[in-house]
């Protein structure tokens, strides 16, 4: 039997819809929905993780659509609600433009599936869903690194998630280079990784990746996973505010401006 864990408003749920909606009337309309109390709790969950306003409103908008879909199909209890997850996502995808790009289709599907399953995992005991969570990079070698970031460095989830993304990129690079153990890591490999990573991200992301990598390497040395502290081999770069401004205007643009 499904157990509903979400308490009603006024019994300890922190009011967080106002964090994402400036108008109280908008928040009140969401609370009046059948899934209103659950969405309220989900908003608090998002706020705890410092999810931005735009992203939070996007997730909540999906849940509002899910609420309307479920009620339109006569759902009155939580057991029946679980059966509507797959049909809801299918109905949303039919409204999307057709695309042959597999990655784009997966991304669009996740935009609907992830908020719904996050909500259901939050408020229904034992619900797992189908969202696949990628394992933490280097979890078999340094399983307590996320705990170190949270407990010793005092980082919140958005920052910790940034570490995961950069370290996952490092893991892919090392696998492609045939490196099976972190003990094989060298300054040359580190430099090669940052050079390759810079081709796919913006300048400030490269600087942030380098900073995260230094923290990770210092941790590995402290835990005696690496015999040497390789953090000093990570180059330090700078991103200037006007770096993207071109040094000169192409002659074709000058001619176009003069003719106009």
Supply the mean pLDDT for the chain: 82
Q: What's residue 161's pLDDT? A: 81
Bigger pLDDT: 107 vs 79:
79
Residue 48 structure tokens: 């705890």
* Rounded distance between C-alpha atoms, residue 46 and residue 87, angstroms: 25
Percent of the chain at pLDDT exceeding 70: 79
> What kind and span of H or E run contains 175?
helix 157-176
Break the chain into its structural domains and give their ranges: 17-123, 145-233
Contact of 66 with 35, CB cutoff 8 Å: yes
Q: Write out pLDDT tens, residues 195-243.
A: 998 887 776 788 899 999 999 999 999 999 999 999 999 987 554 444 4
Rg (CA), the chain: 24
**What's the pTM value of the predicted model, to 2 decimals?**
0.53
> What kind and span of H or E run contains 68?
helix 53-72
**Secondary-structure class of domain 145-233 per CATH:** mainly alpha
> What kind and span of H or E run contains 46?
helix 36-48
* Rounded distance between C-alpha atoms, residue 247 and residue 34, angstroms: 57
Q: Write out pLDDT tens, residues 132-154.
A: 567 889 988 888 998 899 888 88
The residues facing 124 across adjacent strands are: 4
């Amino acid at each position: 039997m499904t157990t509903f864990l979400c308490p009603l408003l006024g019994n300890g749920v922190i009011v967080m819809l106002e964090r994402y909606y400036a108008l109280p009337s908008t928040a009140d309309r969401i609370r009046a929905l059948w899934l209103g109390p659950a969405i309220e709790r989900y908003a608090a969950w998002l706020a705890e993780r410092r999810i931005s306003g735009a992203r939070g409103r996007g997730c909540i908008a999906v849940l509002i659509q899910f609420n309307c879909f479920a009620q339109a199909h006569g759902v009155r209890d939580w057991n029946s609600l679980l059966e509507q997850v797959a049909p809801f996502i299918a109905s949303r995808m039919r409204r999307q433009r057709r695309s042959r790009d597999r990655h784009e289709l997966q991304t669009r599907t996740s935009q609907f599936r992830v908020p719904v399953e996050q909500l259901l995992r939050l408020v229904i005991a034992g619900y797992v869903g189908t969202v696949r969570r990628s394992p933490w990079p280097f979890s078999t070698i340094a399983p307590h690194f996320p705990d170190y970031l949270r407990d010793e460095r005092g980082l919140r989830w958005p920052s910790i998630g940034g570490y995961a993304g950069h370290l996952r990129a490092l893991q892919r690079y090392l696998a492609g280079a045939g490196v099976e153990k972190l003990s094989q890591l060298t300054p040359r490999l580190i430099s090669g990784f940052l050079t390759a990573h810079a081709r796919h991200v913006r300048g400030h992301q490269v600087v942030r990746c380098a900073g995260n990598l230094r923290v990770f390497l210092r941790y590995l040395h402290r835990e005696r996973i690496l015999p040497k502290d390789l953090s000093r081999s990570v180059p330090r770069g700078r991103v200037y505010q006007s770096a993207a401004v071109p040094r000169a205007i192409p002659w074709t643009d000058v001619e176009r401006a003069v003719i106009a």
